[in-house]
Structure 1
Amino acid sequence: MYEQISHSLLNEILDELQPNAYERRRDLQHFYTRLGANFYAIHNLFERLYGQRDDFELQMQRLVETLVRKYMHRPRELKDLDIAREKDHNWFLSQKWVGMALYSAGFAGNLRNMAAKTPYFQELGINLVHIMPILKCPVGKSDGGYAVSNFREIDERIGTLEDLQTIADEFGKRDILLVLDVVVNHTSDEHEWAQKAIAGDKKYQDYYYIFDNREIPDMYEQSMPEIFPESSPGNFTWNETMQKWVMTVFHNYQWDLNYSNPAVFIEMIDVILFWINQGADIIRLDAVAFLWKKIGTTCQNEREAHLLLQLMKDCCQVVAPGALFIAEAIVAPVEIIKYFGEDAIIAKECEIAYNATFMALLWDAIATQNCKLLTQGLKSLPGKLERATWLNYVRCHDDIGLGYDDNDIRAAGYDPFAHRQFLIDFYTGSYPGSFASGVPFMRNDKTGDARISGSLASLAGLEKAAQSGNEQEIRIAIDKILLLHNLIMAFGGIPLLYYGDEIGTFNDYSYRDDHDKLGDSRWIHRPTIDWQRVELRKRQGTIEYTLFAALKKMIAIRKETTAFADFNNRHLIDTNNEHLFAFMRFDHNRSSKSVLVVSNFSAEPQTLDLQTLAHEGFGTSGQLIDLYSGQQPVIEEGRLPIQPFHFYWLSEY
């Protein structure tokens, strides 16, 4: 959009830049086109956030200079990739993408060894790899890599920038997307900015929320919840050297950045573009819900946080339009949907968001053996934008939060408090007959609340079954694991496996012997992969072989099934059976058949009345084939039998 005031300012800024620094490059036409197209939005957002400041125009100039500089340092092959993705702007909605999240140290020992594992990803069918935080962090105060002490240095215990470049090159040759983290909400207290603030530098004290006394912190505390009430109660920490209070929403060594200061925004957009220029296809923006703090609120999901993300997106579209954002916002469904943006179609904040609601609902269905809350919760999940997508996952590096909407729990026939207590007891193994081997995370004795830690295999009962040697229980646990994965593969979005789940990795209890990890039960599901055990994936009859082969097959079929692309082409089905969860996937180009996905969460066989699907136009024009098994299902008098913890991907032929 052309608007005279903002574009006049842009011309002044460009005139003041040293032309010889960039005019010698012949590829600036794309940069200027994008900058011109986006500058009105960039200027408008920057003015809404910082227009009241006397140094507004100076800060605006610094922002544009940052974008120019980052574009000039963007490698030619990445600029070409940007152009290709601009031409195919829906590329990331394809069903061909299947991801895996991992810690490089736990998966391969270090970054240098990661590149050598590329054939393993290809063998399984993984073509999107999220390497968990790799930036420099203090020993013992890292929060699993999310307390960054240098935004441009890789932790020497993990590797080097050259190692990462090798990975990016290897992935690029094989069409594997690289996902990296940028922690945008806070830094470590050992970061250079924090250290300068501690030393008394007013410039860097303004990078954080720092106060002389408790008056303002107490105002914040009246409405701010505690994120880690067990290990880090409150939201402020006293710094003895400064004799001041610092906002520390997560841990006392993680200082919250003050985005009401435009210098902080410019620093962080520079950091984001730095890693995009290193070859990251996707940047996972950590803790985006917390970016703006306002007295009298929870300091989460504020309007200004969304404006900041819109501004980040517009800036990145100028420099690197082929790169995507993931919103790490584990918040209520009505809030998470906002992190895609406000546009009716295009994601103007983050193209991808974690579907934490779906994940938590799946674990409820496994524990209750019914789909009442799963179905109700998904009905309450707002629809996403057309050009945005979910990350669907069963487990990740984090805990399982039970943040279901109380109204949905009641609609499913449960008391909210009692039902959450049941799930906590069930997955921590204290409920009679529970098969799970999880542990509580951040139990709050005041509220009775807790979250759940544990690996997929251990929570699904495979650990207990394997220890007992009960073959039937082992088979049931494997069926549950595949049942859960079938849904993240077929639901709509990008399925994200968690490393080790493809071979059934159990809980790692060794964290209890590590002083730096003892207070954080999430380390129980952040394993070090035993590659000798991984080799068992090649030996028939082993748990590893059964799981790996099944997931490999599932991934391959997903990639061939165009109805599994994500174009808002899903429709939930009322099965009239609380144990069955079903939905229809339609091919958005109508070039192939629809697919009926039906899953049985019960320990007993169930039947689906196919006559109830007649109004969907399904099952009336031909025979049914299960895409996963390649076989025709047995249908008895119009009813489809489904074995316990089994699923079908049904299509007509």
Structure 2
Amino acid sequence: MYEQVSHSLLNAILDDLKPEIRRQDLRHFYTRLGANFYAIYSLFFRLYGHRPDFKRQMLGLVETMAEGYINRSPELEALDIAREKDHNWFLSQQWVGMALYTNGFARNLRDLADKTEYFQELGVNMIHVMPILKCPIGKSDGGYAVSDFRQIDDRVGDLEDLQHLASELRQRQILLVLDIVMNHTSDEHTWARKAVAGDPIYQDYYYMYESRDIPDLFERSMPEVFPESSPGNFTWNEETQRWVMTVFHDYQWDLNYSNPEVFIEMLGVVLFWANNGVDIMRLDAVAFLWKEIGTDCQNERNAHLLLQLMKDCCQATAPGVLFIAEAIVAPVEVIKYFGEDAISAKECEIAYNATFMALLWDAVATQNARLLTRGLRSLPNKLDRATWLNYLRCHDDIGFGFDDQDVLAVGYQPRSHRRFLTDFFCGEFEGSPSRGLPFMRNEVTGDARICGSLASLAGLEKAMQEENPVAINIAISRILMLHSLIFSFGGIPLLYNGDALGLLNDYSYQQDPAKVSDNRWVHRPSIDWQHAERRHQSGTVENRLFTALRRMIAIRKSLDAFADFNNRELLDTGNEHLLCFLRSYQQRPSEQVLVVANFHSTPQALPVDVLRRRGLDFTAPLIDVFTGRRPHQIEENILLQSYQFYWLKQV
């Protein structure tokens, strides 16, 4: 859109660019900048237009974008152009992700690059390498307390090693995902150290106050993220004699995005990693970016404006790069992180489907899909050019943050039901096969989150300890059924390191002084590669899981109906133990896949008549594309064994 005031300013900015920038060939950059500039100007003005230095800051913003473009390699620029032409490329069913810690999967980044054949063997082609930027020893929050945004932590390698990994993955057509911690820095970051030394420029990079007056105003409406280990939202800094906002931990200082220099700095960080071969940026803690007295300082309107501005600026410089919103918030809020445009995502193209994950675990515990189905019906439709990350387990804890109204609607009391879920997954409920640990338990309400590996939560740890072959078979069926749903639901499925091998809880963290206070390390296991060879030994648990998941991934990639174009319809089967939905392919509506999963420990029936009433014609024979066999059918019912799933197509 052409708008005279903004483009007049743009012309002035281009005239004032540094000579070394003006001398470059910026043809594609100028085209994209011109197309996006009215939006960039409008957003930047809304956030910072009240400042007397607004024009100077706008110049700094454009120079940062231009320098990012100049430093972009011809190979990456060609990739940008290809992805611009195929702008829905990430909605394909071809993508399957895995999240991992470098030193949990390998020794370091070089060793990780040498193990990329494992991903191809399984069929994974998107790798989220968990935080690898420089951070302190000990006070690092698992790598999310960054002390230098442009350096690799020397415990896993250096920048050259990351560039080598990115190149290796690109040759194998595997996407690289990297964390950018947007909300805070370590208190050992250069900016924080300069602030401590008394530099007012860098003190303005954070929220720092000499008295409790303003912190007390914030605290009136701000909840506590870690009430047990890090109560409150401010920490007294003895050296500066100031209170510093520390929403997460006392060593993580929140960045002040009301200062445009902070935004420009972080844009530079994003473009730096884009130019080092990162395909997708996982933007950490985006719900917390904007702080406003009198609010809970989460999901603020200006936080969304910041992300829209970041996206527009990145599209001008590196349009092939995608953003993931790490916003573990209510469905009505998380959907906003895609943006507000009905056609194209304006903020982040990808968001975590934490609600789906929590609802799946609820269905495991209750052995019915009532709340799961209800919660999915309440999940707002995503934008056309956006997609979910569907996962069962990640590096973090599991919280049961589904909507209380949905909980009430299916006949549960929210407080007692969440207490039941905690007890169930901690193995404290009679008959529970799970072996999880409570995280941040609130002794007043009994509420807690859950830690534990996927296999241990699904009952495999208990079954193997008891050497119970029947229970092992049930646990494996439960694990595969859960994966069948994240692979078929619509979006990018994300495995976690070790899940394809059935790795159990790792209790060794209890002997590590740096980890013992955080039991999330119980589900962050390291792969023993000698033991992992069991995936090639027929009949082992590792082989059964790995082989089945490899087959599931291959079949998923062959089914166009599993691409993510809002082409999913939930079906009511009349059987509360079943989850059932239909996936269709837009270009060939007749190509449909019926997905059905049984969450109960006993066989359940899917009445064919229910499908006919929906208008589905299943007169032709059905085949389960996963097994290649016809479903077990008794008269007018399709029968599912305990924890069985079907991907059904007409022959």
TM-score band by shorter chain is over 0.9
Out of 643, 647, 650, the residue aligned to residue 648 of structure 2 is 650
Asked if the contact 2:21/2:67 (under 8 Å) is kept, the reply is no
State how far apart, in whole Å, the 1-side matches of 2:307 and 2:105 are: 31
Corresponding residue for residue 367 of structure 1? 365
Q: Give a deviation string over 1:287-309, Cα, whole Å, max 9, x none.
A: 00000001111100000000000
Asked if 2 retains the 8 angstrom alpha-carbon contact of 1:22 and 1:72, the reply is no
State the match for 1:120 in structure 2: 118
- Residue 112 of structure 1 and its aligned partner are, at CA, apart by 1.0
Matched, 1:210 2:215: no
Secondary structure of 1:597's partner?
A: strand
1:20/1:127 CA distance change after superposition, 3 Å: same
Residues 617-637 of structure 1 deviation map (CA, whole Å, 9 limit, x = unaligned): 434341101010011113222
Structure 2 matches for 1:430-449, cutoff 5 A?
430-449=428-447
Instruction: Please give the TM-score of this superposition, normalised by the length of structure 1.
Output: 0.99
Query: In structure 1, what residue type is equivalent to 2:602?
Result: E
- In 2, the alpha carbon distance for the partners of 1:620 and 1:461 equals 36
1:536 aligns with 2:534: yes
Residue equivalent to 1:5: 5
Correspondence for 2:326: 328
Q: What secondary structure is seen at the aligned counterpart in 2 of 1:396?
A: coil
Deviation at 1:448, TM superposition (A): 2.3
Kept in 2: contact 1:135–1:145 (CA 8 A): yes
Correspondent of 1:391 among 384, 389, 406:
389
For residues 24 and 423 of structure 1, the distance between their equivalents in structure 2, rounded to whole angstroms, comes to 59
* 1:593 match: secondary structure: strand
Which among 476, 480, 493 is matched to residue 495 of structure 1?
A: 493
Q: Distance in 1 between matches of 2:20 and 2:215?
A: 49
Q: Which residue of 1 aligns with 2:39?
A: 41
Is the 8 Å Cα contact of residues 150 and 191 (structure 1) preserved in structure 2? yes
What secondary structure, in the 3-state scheme, does the structure 2 residue paired with 1:594 have?
strand
Give yes or no for contact 1:562–1:592 (8 Å, CA) kept in 2: no
Q: Distance in 2 between matches of 1:361 and 1:474?
A: 23
For the 8 Å contact 2:40–2:309, the answer to whether it is kept is yes
Alpha-carbon offset, residue 591 of structure 1 = 6.5
- For 1:151 and 1:442, the matched residues in 2 are separated by 29
Deviations 1:1-60 (A, max 9, x none): 0001110111001111144544343xx221111000000000000000000000000000
CA-CA distance at 1:588 after TM superposition: 1.6
3-state SS, counterpart of residue 594 of structure 2: strand
Letter in structure 2 aligned against 1:190 = E
- Post-superposition Cα deviations, 1:164-207, rounded to whole Å, max 9, x if no partner, equal 11111111111100000000000000000000001111000000
> Which residue identity does 1:76 align to in structure 2?
P
CA contact (8 A) 2:21 2:66 kept: no
Matched residue, 1:269 = 267
Does residue 292 of the first structure (1) align with residue 290 of the second (2)? yes
**2:144–2:181 contact (8 Å) kept in structure 1:** yes
Which consecutive unaligned segments of at least 5 residues does structure 2 have? none
* Displacement after TM superposition at 1:330 (Å): 0.1
* Native 8 Å contact 1:619 1:652 kept in 2: no
Measured in 2, the distance between the counterparts of 1:457 and 1:540 equals 19
Q: Which amino acid aligns with 2:96?
A: V
CA RMSD of aligned residues (A): 0.9
Which amino acid in structure 2 is aligned with residue 220 of structure 1?
F
**2:293 counterpart letter in structure 1:** I
TM-score, length of structure 2 as denominator length: 0.99
Q: 2:471 — aligned with what?
A: 473
SS in structure 2 opposite 1:586?
A: strand
CA offsets 1:211-252 (integer angstroms, 9 cap, x no match):
111111111111111101111011000001111100000000
SS at 2:105's partner residue? helix
Counterpart residue type for residue 9 of structure 2: L
Matched with 1:406 is: 404
What is the identity, as a one-letter code, of the residue corresponding to 1:365?
Answer: A
Residues 609, 639 of structure 1: 8 Å contact kept: yes
Shift of residue 555, structure 1, vs aligned partner: 0.1
Shifted more, 630-639 versus 575-584: the winner is 630-639
Corresponding residue of 1:237: 235
Q: Percent identity?
A: 67
Q: Which residue of 2 aligns with 1:512?
A: 510
How far does the alpha carbon of each residue in 1:119-158 deviate from its partner, in whole angstroms, 9 at most, with x for none? Answer: 0000000000000000001000000000000000000001
Q: CA deviation at 1:369?
A: 0.2
**Aligned 8 A contact 2:236 2:242 in 1:** yes
Q: Write the letter of the residue equivalent to 1:557.
A: I
Q: What is the rounded CA distance, in whole Å, between the counterparts of 2:283 and 2:614 in structure 1? A: 40
How far did 1:401 drift?
Answer: 0.4
Aligned-residue offset at 1:609: 0.5
State the match for 2:158 in structure 1: 160
For 2:12, give the aligned amino acid: E
Output the amino acid matched with 2:428: S
- In structure 2, relative to structure 1, the CA distance for the partners of 1:199 and 1:20 (3 Å cut) is closer
Equivalent in the alignment of 1:14: 14
Equivalence for 1:555: 553
CA distance in 2, matches of 1:592, 1:619: 10
SS in 2 for 1:391: strand
Provide Cα deviations, 1:448-469, integer angstroms capped at 9, x if missing partner.
2210000000001100100110
Give the Cα separation in 2 of the matches to 1:273 and 1:96: 26
**Alignment deviations for residues 405-440 of structure 1 (CA, whole Å, 9 cap, x no partner):** 111101111010000000011111111111111001
Match of 1:228 in 2: 226
Paired residue for 1:422, among 396, 408, 420?
A: 420
For residues 492-539 of structure 1, the C-alpha deviation after alignment (integer angstroms, 9 at most, x for no partner) is 000000010000000010111111111111000111111111100000
Secondary structure class of the residue paired with 1:289 = helix
Instruction: Indicate the residue corresponding to 2:29 in structure 1.
Output: 31
Distance 2:20 2:579 in 1: 63
Quote the Cα distance in structure 2 between the aligned partners of 1:444 and 1:237. Answer: 22
Asked if 2 retains the 8 angstrom alpha-carbon contact of 1:427 and 1:439, the reply is yes
* Distance in 2 separating the partners of 1:149 and 1:615: 60
| CA displacement 1:598-625 (0-9 Å, x = unmatched) | 0000001000011111144434341101
